[in-house]
Amino acid sequence: MLSASLSRRLFLLCALLLGLATALPDAATAQKEPGRQGVFALTNAQIVVSPTDTISSGTVVIRDDSIAAVGSGVAAPNDAEVIDCSGQTVYAGLIDGGTRLGIEEVGSLSETQDFNEIGEVTAHMNALTAVNPNSVHIPVTRVHGITTVITEPSNGMLPGTAALIDLHGYTPRQMHAAGVTLTKLDFPSVGRQGPSDDRSPETIEKESQKALDKLNEVWDRAERYARIDSSVTAAEGRRQPEYIPAMEGLLPVIRGEQPLMITANAASDISVALDWAEERGVLDQVILSGAMEGWRVADEIAEASVPVLVGSVMQPPSRESDRYDRAYETPSLLRDAGVTVALRSGKTENVRNLVFHAGFAASHGLGKSGALRAVTTAPAEIFGIDDLVGTVEAGKKANLFVADGDPFQPTTDVQHLFIEGYKLPLENRQTKLRDEFLNRTPGLSE
Amino acid sequence: MMDPLPDVRRTAGALVCLLAFLAAPVAAPVAAQSVDDLPPVTDTYALTDARVIQAPGQVLDPATVLVRDGLIEAVGTDVSVPYDAREIDADSLVVYAGFIDGLSHAGVQRPESGSDDEEDGNEAEVDPGDPPTDRSGIQPDRSVRSFLAPDEKTLEALRKIGFTTGHVVPEGRMLPGSGAIVQYGGASAGDLVLEPKPSLFAQIQPADGYVYPATDMAVIATMRQLFREAARRQNLQEAYRENPDGRRRPPRDPVHSALFPVLDGSLPMAFYADDALSIHRVLTLQRELGFPLLLAGLAESHAALESLETADAPLFLTLDLPEEPARSAESDTIAADTTDRPSRFYDPDLRTASYRDVSAEAENLELRHAAERKKYLRTAALLEEADLPFGFTTREADAGDIRSHLRTMIEEGLSAEAALAALTTRPASLLGLDRRLGTVEDGKIANLVVTDGSYFDEDTSVRYVFVDGRLYDYASESEEGEVTGEASAVVGTWSYTLETSQGDFSGTIEIEGDASGLSGTFVGPQGDEQDLQSVSWDGTTLSFSVDSPQGGSATVSVTVEGESFDGSVSGSGQSFSISGERTRSPDR
Amino acid sequence: MTDSISARLLRAVGGVPLAVVLATLLAAPATAQDRLRADAPDDWLIQDATVLTVTNGTIENGDILVRDGDIARVGTDLSAPSGAEVYDASGEYVMPGIIEAHQHIAISNVNEATNQVTAEVGVGDVLNPYDIGIYRALAGGVTTVHVMHGSANPIGGRNETIKLRYGVTDPQGLKMEGAPRTVKFALGENPTRVYGQGRDQQPRTRMGVEQVIREALRKAERYAEAKEAYENGERDRPPEHSERMEVLAGVLSGDVIVQCHSYRADEILMLMRVFEDFGIQDLVFHHVNEGFKVAPELAAFGDDGAGASVFSDWWAYKFEVYYSTAYNAAVLTENGVNASINTDIPGEQRDMYLQAAKTKRYGDLTDDEALALITINPARQLGIDDRVGSIEEGKDADLAIFDDHPLSVYTKPQRTYVDGVVRFDHEEDPDDMRLRVDPEGTVDLARDGYDRDRRKSCLKGVTFLQATESGLTLQHSH
């Protein structure tokens, strides 16, 4: 391990070299450079094309927003800016299956929170609307190679739609990744809502039954609304149903056009949710989120062919009687049962720790390639965009990063980052604060 | 407020409704007719031909026990019945020493809810960080004696199952006041007190309503503060007494002064601590501050046994036991056996593997709870095995459960002899009462329990209880009313008129049911409803009792002729005529 | 259970006395106050490990000899004396047991949030050895924890340094004997929210926090003076006894180390100024999210500098931590501040080693620098570095064994020794490790929404207050 001061000097040196290569005046301005698209050739790199396919040395060519070519025999095009990646590895951008990125800034300040609209049934709310492209959290997250996340609302049973966003862009629309939108259903829970929930088991059961009745009632109405709405479209002269925004919001789900992301953690909640979805004929649209106790009903989930966004991984188990590391093992227990597993951090300010969640899942049964799959190809498949992202292959969107080692290891540093072909500076407020204060001037003098 | 005994005869006019009558004092509910209504003629009793358990393992059979002037005058096989004695043929009955309750609130009248007005009124003005001492629960200057009432319900219920004496402490928070040794029977509050100040009651109980001390740790800190400041004040006062010349008068206040006898070692702190953590915390505090200690509760003493073994304190084990939850394991295999990976490091009973099979896992975990429950049931046996002398406390137990809990403890290994000792001789000696109580020997206070079999048999009932030589007769009492007459003759609605010295009152009585049992409601003149207890009907006489919400009960006995009845209501040493007519019957 | 075990057995064995049957059925262990087996060894030879001593470099193929719970020898090719158990640690890594300077596990109360100054209370009086959190920390290689009063009050209660002797049920058995006394202070949003916003009492501002602290220390000074005057015969009576002032007098005399919850640079500077005025030297800041801004001042405080126990990367959960950086620990370390890393939240105390490893990414600390953040540095902050915090002969045998380098994300704790006895072993670890369960309870309900709730229930004092308020009666149940 290099000493800190030596590595800092190296960093400066690299920046200077890079600055010269790109005809920029100095490192200081390089840091402030916004993202830019162009033609890039990442040469001499180890390329992890997919979790199961690695090229030991080759070139990745990025042109505009896409990957133009990948391979050991690929030459850097003449117009390309060549980045020598000797000793470094190219990975596909990592995907987090559940966050509040962009819609929450400071945890204790409600003025900065836009994920929690008032109301039990607010299916017409869209997280994408409130995404702040300039949130301080976004650059803090992406410097770890995380390029794409689900950002999701909460509060109430049907809090609205979640959106898949790329972590670069100046408008929410620019950030919206392939238009992926999921309707979220926070399924009625028989679990305890955290350590300070001391309701009796009977009360919890009663309340969750009541919530389930309410859900069924809402769904009945939504189905009726959709039926009437469809029949109006089918023939002239029919009267529109009374306009109900929340029902309108559920139309795409009822019509089978939009995935339904169901949050459920307790084993029995998951079972009930799967049964419910089957009864309602939406099972094939369901993506399960959370699934802390999914391992207890892994076979049921596999049987239903429902994919799961597991997490967070690094948390204590759901019951005092459970193993201390049960949550770390959940992804592998589900995968072993045949479930498609992606990971979610469930965070806002520390989505960056997705890489460590993946590392813990890897060492607890999922394996390194299994963990990599759970943050790349698996979420891409789950969200139906595996033709666009998830691997380092020609034709795919240029969401990728270059690291000097295993991206899950804390010892590793990310060296280059591309989102939709934009080469982004690896800086954020946290690095700037470090730069300003590491050797503060003035120091001790009064 | 402290006078819960309104005198019905002096209360004026409209207030003298039936319920006020019912609220009047009833020294012995059902025995009232036999003992209290008439002067008892004699207070000398001879229990003849009895099996007398003088002390655990010490039996005289058959023998006579002679009670006179509140004392046991003689016990023996050749005691003759004197001329003035009421003889009770105790053939096939068993006589025990009255049971002694190591710590309870029996006889303590709870202030009626809402009457504690200061809490609502002054709430806003109290600084939560520095409330007045009484809001903090610091009231060592109070005495339980000012709260005693002989007709308090718990006391009656405990007496009925054989408890005749108790170490009674006031209710409250961390330092509720001093206790008293109380006889569980007597005519007046003053009558009840056998020893005025055996202890200062304490518990690790934060203040009510989130004021300081709001946590256990602050309660403990407050105890330290009080003790150390009391010591300082005591020193100052002693110095002042010796030499007041030129000295400032030392500070004086009832709270700290109440602790002086504790500091002297002449008054024990009686702590209630049920769970293992509290037990440890109290013992640690005691080692630190060095006060004499009495410990009650101890439900989890199985988890603190080593510490208790080294503690120098009288112990009183709770007669409460954990209840089995609605969902519980059927099998009684110990959960410990279910692990496939026994540990070399921890005790085996820690291990319960969980499985992916959710129902097997649940079963397994339920077993673990069952095994844990077992430890509580076995705690008394464990104390016996460990040779720790202990009595019992009824504080957290329902009187109705106590006998079955004792049976459970015995099933789980407590010897019947030790159980009896824990009810009699042990508490007598632990509370320093053994010269007066605890055995059936001449010269002792006539506190006796007379049963129709071994006390620990399920079928046995308590027939008589003597407290201070005063007889409480439970022999004639049948818990359930008997219905031998044609039920339809009484079922329906009756209107009644009650003739009292203050005038007549009327209301209704609803009776429903069939040959398998009758029940009903007594509706007072102002519409207040009370359930009828023990409704009996033999074709001629209809009888039942009614509990007053203020404590006490009245017995109604009437002769039914066709659609009307005539009879009497009695209780609290009085009797009034009652008559009535049926206004609704099943066939009308 | 209608048919008890004893009744069944009695039928089965006929004439055997009941007591004998029961004695065999539920033998001594059920009553022992340490659920560790009585014969659990504390003499060990740990062989062929990569030994990360933290203070004296790394020993490849190293051996550690443990006698009577202490580290007797550290070296290579040691032989096992008779009676010592051998643990083959080839391919594995041994590091000093991890020390966490800031946690709230194993205690029944957190905040006495009724008064701005509550130095007289102490969480050491309400230790709860049954907390499953102790075992979960052991399962992460943690052996010593500084359990703290909450941060509701500018001057909170005393903290307690405990050893994670899971299995011990006497709360006293958890205490690390001889560890210096410490007391909690708290600055910023939490006390101003509880008192200013919550009760309309001072302090509502950081100005008020300073004056509450100054007033309390000044009073303690007077108290100590009055006591001394009495002892010297200059006063006819001692002052009215005050448990509160006794502790604060201990702060003034240097017997009690102040461990202060803080975030912003200005409030950190404020407390250092106040302490300089009172001549107080022993000061460790906790959380210190803006410590990096005043690292030179922290390093220059008093004779040995002020300590800083920080989070690895937590921020933005409230406004006073919005301007944070995960490089905090590294910047502090580079500036010569004695820094440690803590996790604070019960439930997150298991992966301390990963939190330390993050300083590799955020600031490129060396392995030893990173490991020191969770071993010898917190030991220094707690005044227990003569006993724990490194693998040195003569120290307590508190050791954590990992299957991979503890700074690797893939590492897994294998074994944790506290005072030379194994309190966690990966190979012998069933699921349910609770020391006791509710006798009237049934299977636990799953806890859902941990992430949803954790800030509210755990992080920082205000919410402890609420949790405590609603849970008051619960605390007296099992």
Over the stretch C27-48, which tens digit does the pLDDT of each residue have? 334 456 888 888 888 999 999 9
Residue B507 lies in a domain: yes
pLDDT (tens digit, 9 = 90+) per residue, C391-408?
Answer: 999 999 999 999 999 999
Q: Which H or E run includes B560?
A: strand B553-561
Cα A297 from Cα A266, distance rounded (Å) = 10
Contacts of C239 (CB under 8 A, 6+ apart): C223, C226, C227, C230
Q: Is the pLDDT of residue A322 over 70?
A: yes
Q: How far is C156 from chain A (nearest CA, A)?
A: 22
d(CA B97, CA C96): 63
Q: What DSSP string runs through C388-408?
A: SSS--TTSB--EEEESS-TTS
In angstroms, rounded to a whole number, what is the distance separating the alpha carbons of residues A162 and A100?
9
Shared domain check, B20 and B60: no
Residue B157 and residue B24 share a domain? no
Is B369 part of any domain?
Answer: no
Regarding whether B512 and B469 lie in a shared domain, the answer is: no
Residue A218 contacts B where some CB pair is shorter than 8 Å: no
Residues B455 and B419 occupy one common structural domain: no
Q: Which domains does chain C have, with CATH numbers?
A: 18-97+390-429 (2.30.40.10), 98-388 (3.20.20.140)
> What single letter denotes the amino acid at residue C291?
G
- Cα dihedral B72, B77, B83, B88, rounded to 10, equals 70
Using the predicted structure, report yes or no on whether residue C461 has a pLDDT greater than 70: no
pLDDT score of B354: 63
Q: Per-block average pLDDT, block size 10, for chain B (588 residues)?
A: 37 36 42 51 92 97 96 96 94 96 94 50 74 96 94 93 98 97 93 95 95 97 98 95 90 96 97 97 96 97 94 96 76 46 67 64 80 93 96 96 97 97 98 97 98 95 96 75 83 89 84 85 82 85 78 80 88 78 79
- Both B219 and B313 in a single domain? yes
Structure confidence at residue B387 (pLDDT): 96
Question: Any idea which residue has 């820094």 for tokens?
Answer: C339
Contact C453 A443 (CB under 8 A): no
B355 CB burial (10 A radius; 0-12, 13-18, 19+): middle
pLDDT of residue C32: 67
Domain boundaries, chain A: 34-92+404-437, 94-389
Name, in order, each residue with C-beta under 8 angstroms of A66's C-beta and a sequence gap of 6 or more. A395, A396, A397, A398, A421
Instruction: List the 315-344 stretch of A: residues with Cβ below 8 A of B.
Output: 321-323, 333
Q: Is residue B265 in some structural domain? A: yes
Structure token digits, residue B398 = 């329902």
CATH 2.60.40.10 fits A34-92+404-437, yes or no: no
For residue B517 the two structure tokens come to 């049992």
| Cβ separation B411–C6 shorter than 8 A | yes
Residue B65 has what pLDDT? 97
What digits encode the pLDDT tens for the residues A154-174? 999 999 999 999 999 999 999
Beta bridge mates, B377: none
* Three-class DSSP labels, chain A: CCCHHHHHHHHHHHHHHHHHHCCCCCHHHHHHCCCECCEEEEEEEEEEEECCEEEEEEEEEEECCEEEEEECCCCCCCCCEEEECCCCEEEECEEEEEECCCCECCCCCHHHECCCCCCCECCCCEHHHHCCCCCCHHHHHHCCCEEEEEECCCCCCECEEEEEEECCCCCHHHHEEEEEEEEEEECCCCCEECCCCCCCHHHHHHHHHHHHHHHHHHHHHHHHHHHHHHHHHHCCCCCCCCCCHHHHHHHHHHCCCCCEEEEECCHHHHHHHHHHHHHCCCHHHEEEEECCCHHHHHHHHHHCCCCEEECCCCCCCCCCCCCCCHHHHHHHHHHHCCCCEEECCCCCCCHHHHHHHHHHHHHHHHCHHHHHHHCCHHHHHHCCCCCCCCCCCCCCECCEEEECCCCCCCCCCEEEEEECCEECCCCCHHHHHHHHHCCCCCCCCC
| Cβ-contact C283, C300 below 8 angstroms | no
Counting one residue from B and one from C, how many pairs have CB atoms under 8 Å apart?
Answer: 245
CA distance B426 to B449: 17
> CB atoms < 10 A from the CB of C309, how many?
29
Does B125 reside within a domain?
no
Predicted pLDDT of residue B478: 53
Say which residue, C22 or B44, is predicted with more confidence: B44
Q: How many domains does chain B have?
A: 3
Q: Quick check: A426 contacting C, CB < 8 Å?
A: no
pLDDT for residue B457: 96
Q: Give the chains touching B; criterion: ≥3 Cβ pairs < 8 Å.
A: A, C
Same domain membership, residue B41 and residue B20 = no
Tokens in use for C197? 């916003």
Please say whether the beta carbons of B420 and B455 come within 8 A. yes
pLDDT digits (tens, 9 = 90+) for C175-225: 999 999 999 999 999 999 999 998 999 999 999 999 999 999 999 999 999
Return the number of other C-beta atoms located less than 10 Å from residue A444's C-beta. 10
Which chains reach chain A with 3 or more Cβ–Cβ distances below 8 angstroms? B, C
The whole-number pLDDT of residue B500 equals 79
Residue B350: inside a domain, yes or no?
A: no
Task: Please give the pLDDT value at position B355.
Answer: 60
Please tell me which residue of chain B has the smallest CA distance to C478.
B275
* Whole-angstrom distance, CA of residue C246 vs CA of residue A192: 42
Cβ atoms of A139 and A145 within 8 Å: the answer is no
CA–CA dist B197, A153 (Å, integer): 64
> Do residues B247 and B308 both lie within one domain?
yes
| Residue that wins the pLDDT comparison between C455 and B204 | B204
Residue A324 to residue C139, Cβ atoms within 8 A: yes
Q: What is the predicted pLDDT for the residue at B358? A: 67
Torsion of CA A218, A222, A223, A229, to 10 degrees: 160
Give the CATH number of the domain where residue B38 resides.
Answer: 2.30.40.10
Q: Which residue has the higher pLDDT, A347 or B577?
A: A347
| Torsion (CA) A6, A349, A325, A162 in degrees, nearest 10 | -130
Residues in C closer than 8 angstroms to A3, CB to CB, are: 364, 366
Quote the minimal CA–CA distance from B228 to chain C in Å: 7
Residues of chain B contacting C432 with CB distance shorter than 8 Å: 350-354, 365, 368
Mean pLDDT of A384-409: 98
Indicate the pLDDT class of residue A204, thresholds 50, 70 and 90: confident
Q: For A20-77, write each residue's pLDDT tens digit.
A: 334 333 444 434 568 999 999 999 999 999 999 999 999 999 999 999 999 999 999 9
Record: contact A267-B358, CB cut-off 8 A = yes
d(CA B363, CA B18): 55
- Give the model confidence (pLDDT) of C98-117 as tens digits: 999 999 999 999 999 999 99
Q: Which of A185-189, B43-47, B345-349, C355-359 has the lowest mean pLDDT?
A: B345-349
Task: Name every chain C residue with its beta carbon within 8 A of the beta carbon of A368.
Answer: 410
With CB atoms and an 8 Å threshold, state whether A296 touches B365: no
Which amino acid is present at A285? Q
Are residues B400 and B254 part of one domain? yes
Judged by DSSP in three states, C135 sits in: helix
Q: Do C361 and A412 touch (CB under 8 A)?
A: yes
Residue B138 counted as domain residue? yes
Helices B153-160 and B399-411 pack at an angle, to 10 degrees, of 40
Taking a C-beta distance cutoff of 8 angstroms, is the pair B159, B186 a contact?
Answer: no
Rounded percentage of chain A residues whose pLDDT exceeds 90: 79
Indicate yes or no: CB of B221 within 8 angstroms of CB of C126: no
- The CATH classification of domain A94-389, taken from the options 2.70.70.10, 1.20.120.530, 3.40.50.720, 3.20.20.140: 3.20.20.140
- Beta-carbon contacts below 8 Å between A and B: 14
Q: What is the pLDDT of residues C409-448, one digit of tens each?
A: 999 999 999 999 999 999 887 788 899 888 888 777 777 6
Among candidates A100, A292, A111, A283, which has minimal Cα distance to A190? A292
State whether B564 and B510 are in the same domain.
yes
CB–CB of A322 and B354 under 8 A? yes
Q: What per-residue confidence (pLDDT) applies to B117?
A: 46
* Identical fold, A34-92+404-437 and A94-389: no
Q: How far is CA A256 from the centre of its chain?
A: 23
- Model ipTM? 0.91
Q: Same domain for B273 and B407?
A: yes
Q: Which residues of chain C lie closer than 8 angstroms to A266, CB-CB?
A: 445-446, 448
**pLDDT (mean) for C279-285:** 97
Comparison of pLDDT for C346 and C301, the residue scoring more: C301
Query: Does B491 lie in the same domain as B576?
Result: yes
Domain of B203?
A: 134-322+377-433
Tell me if C449 and A189 make a contact (CB, 8 A cut-off).
yes
Instruction: Measure the CA–CA gap between C201 and C212, rounded to whole angstroms.
Output: 11
CB B66 within 8 A of CB B46: yes
- Residue C102 has a pLDDT of 97
Contact state of C453 with A7 under an 8 Å Cβ cutoff: no
CB contact (8 A) between residue C322 and residue A431: no
Q: Are residues B145 and B17 in the same domain?
A: no
What is residue C153's DSSP assignment?
Answer: S
What pLDDT score does A446 carry? 61
* pLDDT of A87 strictly over 90: yes
Spatial distance between the Cα atoms of A102 and B297, rounded to a whole number of angstroms: 56
Measured CA to CA, the distance from residue C149 to residue C160 in angstroms comes to: 9
3-state secondary structure string, B456-522?
CCCCCCEEEEEECCEEEECCCCCCCCCECCCHHHCCEEEEEEEEECCEEEEEEEEEEEECCEEEEEE
- The residues with which A384 forms a beta bridge, in sequence order, are none
**Chain C: closest CA distance from residue A270 (Å):** 12
Q: What is the CATH number of the domain that holds B511?
A: 2.40.128.120
Looking at residue B572, its pLDDT comes to: 63
- Rg from Cα positions in chain B: 27
Residue C152 has pLDDT above 60, yes or no: yes
Average pLDDT over residues A1-16: 45
Q: Does A190 touch chain C (CB under 8 A)?
A: yes
